Structure 1
Amino acid sequence: MIQIEKLTKTYTTKHGTVTGVDNISLDIGKGEIFGIVGYSGAGKSSLIRCINLLERPSSGSVKVDGKDLTKLNGEQLRKARLKIGMIFQHFHLISQKTVYDNIAFALRAAGTSNKDIKTRVEELLEMVGLADKRNVYPAQLSGGQKQRVGIARALANNPAVLLCDEATSALDPNTTLSILRLLKDINHQLNITIVLITHEMNVVKEICDRMAIMQSGLVIEEGYVYNIFAAPQKKLTKEFISSVVSFNVPTQILSGFTGTLVKVLFKGGVAGEGVISDMLQNFEVKGNFLHGAIEYIQEQPLGIFIMELKGNKSAVTDAINYMESRLAIVEVMSNGN
């Protein structure tokens, strides 16, 4: 659905040229929810604005549904943008217009007839749960309700792609969750491709299929959300994940043990099996649990346990090999004293 090839965006400032997006290539599939994560200044907002050419790339290409937007201009580009909806952190609603008219505005701009506008707006109000707010003004709405209006407006012209630029950053946690669930429902109902820019890893954990981590204009890590949570490769990725899921044990707790300290990771259905209890029953080792947790990423369990194994060297080795044979990933953290 979206193919980004060697995309670069530079800015000229009084201090010289600044690179916002640095030679990025991404392929985002139809119907996918794709998260782009990074701290402020990483280049993620520049990237998303290049996708719909709100900012024209300095080099590279952006193809949406097979059309290279960088080769379009004028009326061609305007028509192509109708199929790319966008929602923002601060809603950007027209304060003097009602909820109904804010949504209808996008349809009128596209030349839709009044009859079709009424039908479409009513459909969208139902979809986002605001049928009872049609005649209310933005000042009378909560933050979550304002964002629902923004979502409805972005969907007005039946786009194939929905771009979300920090869409939940101004919302409290409960409202954030409700908006993310709405986006997921819309994705399932319409098979719309969603690109979600955020600095909050819990947002990605909640609804994204795949993700990319950005730093200094570069994509430093990319993949399925579950796989990245299970085995992050880069320091920044680990930092983001630790803000949501902590599998680490304080260093002082790990000192003073004479056995073998191991970190055991279980992916998928294996996380729910009794691999560790089976190992302790079948091998002449004793286990001292130091830490354990099971998280659910994309509705799949991810289990991590840190434990001390005591026994002779061969028995500990056999126990580790057994857990690995049951599809666990075992990392020896310390072989004891």
Structure 2
Amino acid sequence: MSLTIKNGEIFGIVGYSGAGKSTLLRCLNLLERPTSGQVIIDGVDLTTLNKKELRQARLKIGMIFQHFHLVSSKTVFENVAFALKAAKKSKDEIEKRVNELLEMVGLSDKRDAYPSQLSGGQKQRVGIARALANEPTVLLCDEATSALDPSTTKSILALLKKINRELGITIVLITHEMEVVKDICDRIAVMQDGKVIELGTVYDIFTNPKEELTKSFINSVLQFDLPDHLLKKRTGTIVKIQFKGEMAEEAVVSDMLQTFKVKGNILHGKIEYIQDMPLGIFVMELTGEPDEIQRAIDYISLRTNGLEVIASAA
């Protein structure tokens, strides 16, 4: 595997269990030492460092875990302070920094609470504050939202995005949830059997996936399959149309219906916004004379980013 993650981006690593996501992430801070090759962060090859140098380098690589890993016998303040004590910071430095971090993650009022008194989302916020304690340049997130409900996941992703944008920290996030990738990542790598099989911006991957595994991940978010019983009732030609970018906001379908002697019945459709760019997908039934339907299909194909005939009465 050869992979370059850009400074300041949110980079997602996606794959099913056993694909190698967690192993790759743990290689980035040498919790797992690769059998060969280099791990270069901020220009330093971590594999060449001695134990003391590696401990120092790891201070700049924060890590957030799926199951939080908080010390149950310590307060929120003490859990966050732990990383600063390990870095041999003074008492005054620790007090100031922990208070800043708790305010950043919205937990100033939970300073003296214990993990057992916190919700899952609050525990993860403590984990994020702890990971940021030593002002890292890289933040590694190991399935950071998998143990959370959808609403809490949204709030944690919003917090991570805020941290990335305001502090400029590079975030590497592994997940099997494409919804997470769609909401937060700039680029993604899709992994299978220890290899990266597809790599690109989130928008490009969502609009033009090449690999079957990638397509199956995207289908879990953009699900447009119609039930068989619904397809059997249709008497016309059913097409799936994809609109990218500005095209998603234009009246192509409406123009087509006015230009040709066909009727259109939209069966399914939505516009998603990925990296603030629209992606529209519509499934519709076209009825009319076969020649007119074909002309309408050709018209749409030329003016959109993809048309697939799902079923045809002919």
Q: Same fold (TM over 0.5)?
A: yes
TM-score (norm 1): 0.87
Question: How far did residue 256 of structure 1 move?
Answer: 6.3
- 1:121 matched to which residue of 2? 98
Q: Please, which of 113, 124, 131 is the counterpart of residue 147 of structure 1?
A: 124
The answer to whether the Cα contact below 8 Å between 1:247 and 1:293 also exists between their aligned partners in 2 is no
Q: What is the aligned partner in structure 2 of residue 34 from structure 1?
A: 11
Bigger relative CO (Cα 8 Å, ≥ 6 apart): 2
Query: 1:39 is aligned with what amino acid?
Result: Y
SS at match of 1:233: coil
| Cα deviation, residue 189, structure 1 | 0.8
Q: Which residue of structure 1 aligns with residue 180 of structure 2?
A: 203
- Where do 5+ consecutive residues of structure 1 fail to align? 1-23
The match for 2:262 is: 285
Give, in whole Å, the separation in 2 of the partners of 1:73 and 1:173.
42
1-side partners of 2:130 and 2:58: how far apart? Answer: 14
Matched, 1:243 2:241: no
Give the structure 2 partner of residue 301 of structure 1: 278
Distance 1:166 1:56 in 2: 20
- Could you tell me how far apart the structure 2 residues matched to 1:260 and 1:136 are? 61
Match of 1:194 among 171, 183, 187: 171
Counterpart among 155, 160, 164 of residue 183 in structure 1: 160
Are 2:115 and 1:138 aligned? yes
Give the drift of 1:139. Answer: 1.6
Q: Amino acid of the residue matched to residue 217 of structure 1?
A: G
Q: Distance in 1 between matches of 2:270 and 2:294?
A: 24
Quick check: 1:323 aligned with 2:300?
Answer: yes
- Partner of residue 265, structure 1: 242
Match of 1:63 in 2: 40
8 Å Cα contact 2:241/2:304 also seen in 1: no
* Deviation sequence 1:119-164 (CA, Å, 0-9, x none): 1111101100011111112121111111111100100111111000
Residue in structure 2 matched with residue 223 of structure 1 by the alignment:
200
Q: Distance in 1 between matches of 2:310 and 2:120?
A: 46
Aligned 1:101-120 pairs, distance under 5 A? 101-120=78-97
Q: Which amino acid aligns with 2:218?
A: I
Moved more, 238-247 or 252-261: 252-261
Aligned residue for 1:100?
77
Which secondary structure state, in structure 2, belongs to the residue aligned with residue 79 of structure 1? helix
Shift of 1:284: 2.8
Give, in whole Å, the separation in 1 of the partners of 2:305 and 2:182.
Answer: 22
Q: Choose from 205, 210, 221 the match for 1:233.
A: 210
1:207-231 deviations in whole A, cap 9, x for unaligned? 1111122222122222211222223
**2:141–2:172 CA contact under 8 A, matched in 1:** yes
Q: Could you tell me how far 1:110 is from its partner in structure 2?
A: 1.1
Q: CA deviation at 1:334?
A: 4.4
Structure 1 counterpart SS, 2:77: helix
CA distance in 2, matches of 1:205, 1:115: 41
TM-score scaled by structure 2? 0.93
